[in-house]
Structure 1
Amino acid sequence: MEPRAHHLIIGLFTLVAFAAALIFSLWLSKSSADRDWAYYEIVFDHAVSGLSEGNPVLYSGVQVGDVLQMKLDPDNPAHVRVLVRVDQTIPIRENTRAGLVLANITGSMNIQFSGGSPGQPTLEGDRDNPPVIQAEPSAFNSILANSEQLLFKADELLTKANRLMSAHNIGNLTAILQNTREATDALLARRDELASLLDQFDAAGRRAEEAAIKVSRVSDNANELLQTDGRQVLESMDKALDVIYTTIARIDRLSRANEGAIDAGLQGMGELAPALRELRATLRNLNQFSQRIENDPSAILFGTDTMKELPQ
């Protein structure tokens, strides 16, 4: 009798637990059915890998609904239309943004709403005519979309690196390194000469700097001279040119006013030429006569020749 009583108690407990679970599920389904929902259609222009029907819909991290349906856009299969339902008490506004977020490390994705200014009007619609919300691409989806291209570029880079590190190129690189080492050793062996050469360059640079300073000083002095004495000279030359110009103008006016007299004077000078020649001849004769008087005045005065003594 005692084992039967234990089995009876266990069976009765099992029936009670099953009935309680059934009642709870009915209550939960009734509560979900009695809940008011708002429906929205989110359009994705990129892949929605990891998203499936029944996944949660979040608003700022809080679950407010779930995914009901997913389908491709018949006009553009690259776009995905996702029908979601959200608690009607949650305001979804015109500037509310929608996107995908990673749910867990397995790659499952959820839809998350964010933003929405209180002053913006709310989106209203039913399941047959839901408002359309354009989804924004997430950083995670961009990484997934570009991962294949990144892997391809990485593989291409590795291929080029393998070609670069071929046996022929390695031999050339070894020769270059060897030549570099020899050149370095040669420079180290002549480092004293290089130091002396650098000192000479330094001294030449200092001399060039000193010469530049002197040239600069000469240039400054010349500039100062031109600014002071040179300006005075130019002013004096300008005044002299003004005087010369005035004198030339006066001479021109005088020559124009006395043009006739100048012509007559020039003609008179032409007539004086024969008289000057005769005057010159007369002066020459007078000169000869004076010389004769000086040499022998008696002959000129008495007209007789001087008596000469005869030799004994």
Structure 2
Amino acid sequence: MEPKAHHVIIGLFTVIAFATALIFALWLNKSANDREWAYYEIGFDHAVSGLSKGNPVMYSGVQIGDVLELNLDPENPSRVRVLVRVDEQVPIRENTKAGLVLANITGSMSVQFSGGSPDSPALEGTREEPPFIQAEPSAFSSLLTNGEELLQKADTLLTNANRLFSEQNTENLEAILANTRAATDALLASRGQLTSLLEQLDASGRRAEEAAIKVSRASDNANALITNEGQRAFQALEKALQTIQSTSARIDRLTQENEGAMASGLQGMGELAPALRELRSTLRNLNQFTRRLEQDPTGTLWGSETIKELSP
């Protein structure tokens, strides 16, 4: 009798537990059906991989609803329209932002609402005409969208790396390293000469600096000389020019005042020209007569010719 009583108790407990679970499920379903929902349509300009019907809708990390439908935009299939329902008690405003967030490590996505200031008007609508909200691309969705391009770039990078480290390039690199090692050894072997060369360069630099200082001093002296002596020379030249200008003005004034006398003098000099010519001719004849008189005084005075002795 005792084992049979235990089986009855276990069976009764199982039935009670099943009935309790069924009643709880019915209560949850009734509670869900009794809730008032607000409907919104969210537009995505990028792929929504990982988002499906029934996925949760979150607001600042708290679930407020779920996804009802996912459809392609008939005018532009690259865009996706997602219909969500949200608890009517949660205000969704015009400046509320929407996007996608990663729900778990399996890649499932959730719709995430954020922002929305209290002074912004609330969005209102029905399931037949839900308000439209343009989603903002998230960093994760952009990463997923550009994943293929990133893989292509990575593949191209690896291909170029393989070409860079080809056998021929490796041999060239080994030759370059060997030449570099040889050049380094040569430099180390002649480091004494390099040290001497650097010392000479240092000495040349010091001499050049000294020469530059001397040139600078000479330039300063020349500048001072030009400034002082040149100024004096310019002043003397200015005085001379003033004197010349004054003298020229006086000559000009004298010329204007004695213009008639000078004209008469010049005319008189023109009349003296024939007399001067006659005087010049007389002087020339007198000069000839004097030479003849020196050579033959008698013949010149008496007009007789001198008898010349003939040589035997």
Establish whether TM, by shorter chain, passes 0.5: yes
Distance in structure 1 (CA, Å) of the matches to 2:239 and 2:89? 103
Partner of residue 165, structure 2: 165
Distance in structure 2 (CA, Å) of the matches to 1:18 and 1:179? 86
| CA RMSD across the alignment | 2.3
Q: Which SS does the other structure have where 2:157 is aligned?
A: helix
The two structures have a TM-score, normalised by structure 1, of 0.83
Partner of residue 225, structure 2: 225
Are 1:185 and 2:180 an aligned pair? no
Partner of residue 11, structure 1: 11
Query: By how many angstroms is 1:273 displaced?
Result: 5.5
Query: By how many angstroms is 1:274 displaced?
Result: 8.2
Partner of residue 57, structure 1: 57
Q: 1:128-207, aligned counterparts within 5 Å?
A: 128-207=128-207
Partner of residue 74, structure 1: 74
Of all paired residues, the percent bearing the same amino acid is 68
Q: Which SS does the other structure have where 2:146 is aligned?
A: helix
Query: By how many angstroms is 1:114 displaced?
Result: 0.4
Partner of residue 242, structure 1: 242
Matched to 2:12, the amino acid is L
Are 1:41 and 2:49 an aligned pair? no
Partner of residue 111, structure 1: 111
Distance in structure 2 (CA, Å) of the matches to 1:11 and 1:83? 46
Distance in structure 1 (CA, Å) of the matches to 2:210 and 2:22? 106
Q: 1:208-219, aligned counterparts within 5 Å?
A: 208-219=208-219
Query: Unaligned 5+ residue runs, structure 1?
Result: 282-312
Deviations 1:85-136 (A, max 9, x none): 1111111010100001111111111111001111110000111110010001
Matched to 1:183, the amino acid is A
Distance in structure 2 (CA, Å) of the matches to 1:98 and 1:119? 18
Distance in structure 1 (CA, Å) of the matches to 2:83 and 2:187? 77
Partner of residue 289, structure 1: none
Deviations 1:53-72 (A, max 9, x none): 11111111111111111111
Distance in structure 2 (CA, Å) of the matches to 1:241 and 1:275? 46
Deviations 1:128-158 (A, max 9, x none): 1100100011111111122221121111111
Distance in structure 2 (CA, Å) of the matches to 1:186 and 1:6? 100
Partner of residue 93, structure 1: 93
Query: By how many angstroms is 1:257 displaced?
Result: 2.1
Matched to 2:163, the amino acid is R
Q: 1:273-292, aligned counterparts within 5 Å?
A: none
Q: Which SS does the other structure have where 1:105 is aligned?
A: coil
Deviations 1:193-245 (A, max 9, x none): 11111111111112112222222222222222333332232122122212211
Deviations 1:243-263 (A, max 9, x none): 211211211221232133234
Matched to 1:164, the amino acid is L
Query: By how many angstroms is 1:268 displaced?
Result: 5.4
Moved more, 81-90 or 221-230: 221-230
Partner of residue 303, structure 1: none
Distance in structure 1 (CA, Å) of the matches to 2:167 and 2:72? 53
Query: By how many angstroms is 1:11 displaced?
Result: 1.7
Distance in structure 1 (CA, Å) of the matches to 2:93 and 2:59? 12
The 1:31/1:193 distance shift into structure 2, 3 A limit, reads: same
Distance in structure 2 (CA, Å) of the matches to 1:260 and 1:37? 129
Query: By how many angstroms is 1:267 displaced?
Result: 5.6
The two structures have a TM-score, normalised by structure 2, of 0.83
Q: Which SS does the other structure have where 1:39 is aligned?
A: strand
Distance in structure 1 (CA, Å) of the matches to 2:196 and 2:276? 89
Distance in structure 2 (CA, Å) of the matches to 1:229 and 1:95? 84
Q: Which SS does the other structure have where 1:48 is aligned?
A: coil
Partner of residue 285, structure 1: none
Q: Which SS does the other structure have where 1:228 is aligned?
A: helix
Deviations 1:31-88 (A, max 9, x none): 1111111110111111111111111111111111111111111111111111111111
